[in-house]
Amino acid sequence: MSTEIKLSQSTAIRLEQARGKGMSEADILKAIQAKDVAAFDSVSEEHYRYDTFFSYADEHGENLEGAVRNGYRITFNTRGGLGIWLEKAFNLQADKDFAVGEGIITGLQLTAEQAKVLEQRLAWNWVITEALEVPAGRELTLKLRALV
């Protein structure tokens, strides 16, 4: 039985958004433990609000506290959603820091540590097909598993 914590793409994006906007792990954990939606007001965005963050996680059995403490894997990535997750998780910009095509993401440069995080988080329907060593770390190509 897998003990890997799984999160929806939407939940993962919101979690990385909070981290990326400077919310500390301690503050995120405190908000999760209290189910305090208002604690995320300062990191909320027009398209990524936290109104249903806790109810969705409860309804779908997502262990938010465990995900913050121990990491997680995204259950399924869409092409656009994966691009958004990369932007939030690594403070990157699509079309500047990487290119998103039909079933492929190219030119993604990450540090070795970031690449390891990506490997742990990436949903099963995507694979890293190329990893080139570059001065800053690694340049990755990601593809939909169905296209490999």
Confidence of residue 2 (pLDDT cuts 50, 70, 90): low
What's the distance, CA 5 to chain centroid?
Answer: 13
Q: Which tens digit of pLDDT belongs to each residue from 23-70?
A: 999 999 999 999 999 999 999 999 999 999 999 999 999 999 999 999
Task: Give percent above pLDDT 90 in the chain.
Answer: 97
Tokens of 12: 């993962």
How far, in Å, CA of 60 to CA of 86, rounded?
23
CA-CA distances (angstroms) from residue 134 to 40, 93, 119? Answer: 36, 19, 18
64: three-class secondary structure by DSSP: helix
Examine the pLDDT at 84 and tell me if it is beyond 70: yes
Whole-angstrom distance between the N-terminal and C-terminal Cα of the chain? 28
Confidence of residue 1 (pLDDT cuts 50, 70, 90): very low
pLDDT at position 3 is 81
Q: Which tens digit of pLDDT belongs to each residue from 126-145?
A: 999 999 999 999 999 999 99
How far, in Å, CA of 113 to CA of 103, rounded?
24
pLDDT at position 29 is 98
